[in-house]
Amino acid sequence: MALTTRRAVTGAPLAKLLATTATRCASTSSATPPRQQSEGGSSGGPRSSSRNSNRHRKPAKTSPKRTVSRILSVDVAKFMRPSDGHLTTTPENARFFRANPTVDHDHGIMTRLEATDAVRRLAKTYRVRLAWSPRHVIHPHRLRFLDPRGHPLAPKIRSDCARKAREDALWAFATAVGGDSAVVWQLTKRELLRAVFRSLTALGYDEHGRKQDGTELRGTLWLTVSQAQHARRLPVEAFGEVVADTLDKHYATRPEERRAALVADAVGAEEDTREKKELSDGMKRRANNSKPWTPRDQAGERGRLPAAKAEAPTTWQPRKRT
């Protein structure tokens, strides 16, 4: 504690004054506890404290959606870039993707299924990874049929995907990582996916992912099993209920939403067509207003003679001296 005196005191009175002041400070500090701010605020009013805390509180940041990594074999990586999923394929496959815009070859666009805390805890408990995409994504193991050199099974893959896109709104597939045997993980992924579809049926969906009121789950569900043996020991019905409830509440599309999306797409396509037409009309107007090219006028037509025809002195003349 700082002590300020207005006048100087010398000798014994100064020592006595300092001793008395120190004794008073010690007795005061021992009798009165240090002042601390309680959780509810001071007696002046907890509302002001909470108002000040809310004033300086930063808004919560929303974490961006995480995408999954691409699983490409050595052969597929030769014609599909792992960085952005660009595909080099045959003209027939390219026409197929243009004719079926909902079908996508790139599974790297899929985002992790982390809409609720329950599904995040479920993924940790069962040691699986769930991903979702509103598009119909081809299985990663079928990408080898899109080889730009051609593949004998490519026509069948195209026809199967086109038929499945027309009939089924919901696609689902599973992959596995780890050292479990093929039999174990095949049985595990089959049981987990069946549990999901059974729970969707209990919620009113059919086997194609649609309800009678027009609600549908349009997209692709990807299940990756890390430890199949561990997942088999846990109840599959609880897994199916949580996943189905998350899909129904956060990813199902209602008829009015699809109609609004169609209207927005139609308006966007109309604007694109109008912009293209205006651009082409402007180019045509500029082409019509531009003057046609004409050859350059000769020097004689402009009233000047060429240098070879200009009159020049025939005899040498000395330079005039100044």
Do both 95 and 193 map to the same domain? yes
Give bridge partners of residue 220 from the DSSP assignment: 133, 171
Do both 196 and 272 map to the same domain? no
Do both 242 and 264 map to the same domain? no
The domain tally of the chain equals 2
**Distance, CA of 208 to CA of 221 (rounded, Å):** 13
Q: In which residue are the tokens 């039999």 written?
A: 183
Do both 149 and 175 map to the same domain? yes
CB 79 within 8 A of CB 89: yes
Do both 228 and 156 map to the same domain? yes
* Tens digits of pLDDT across the chain (322 residues): 443 334 444 444 444 544 555 555 444 444 444 444 434 444 444 444 444 545 555 544 455 678 888 989 999 999 999 999 999 999 999 999 999 999 999 999 999 998 889 999 999 999 999 999 999 999 999 999 999 999 999 999 999 999 999 999 999 999 998 878 889 989 999 999 999 999 999 999 999 999 999 899 999 999 999 999 999 999 999 999 999 999 999 999 987 776 777 677 667 667 777 777 778 777 777 777 777 777 776 555 555 655 555 565 567 777 777 6
CB 171 within 8 A of CB 221: yes
Question: Within a domain: residue 208?
Answer: yes
Angle between helices 182-202 and 236-250 (to 10 degrees): 50
Question: Within a domain: residue 259?
Answer: yes
CB 240 within 8 A of CB 196: yes
Q: Going by C-beta distance under 8 Å and a sequence separation of 6 or more, which residues neighbour residue 224?
A: 68, 128, 129, 130, 131, 174, 175, 176, 177
Do both 218 and 267 map to the same domain? no
**Distance, CA of 131 to CA of 243 (rounded, Å):** 11
CB 247 within 8 A of CB 133: no
Domain hosting residue 277, numbered range: 255-281
Do both 135 and 195 map to the same domain? yes
Question: Within a domain: residue 138?
Answer: yes
pTM of structure: 0.63
Do both 126 and 262 map to the same domain? no
Do both 122 and 243 map to the same domain? yes
Q: If you count DSSP H runs as helices and E runs as strands, how many of each does the chain have, helices first?
A: 9, 6
Do both 143 and 274 map to the same domain? no
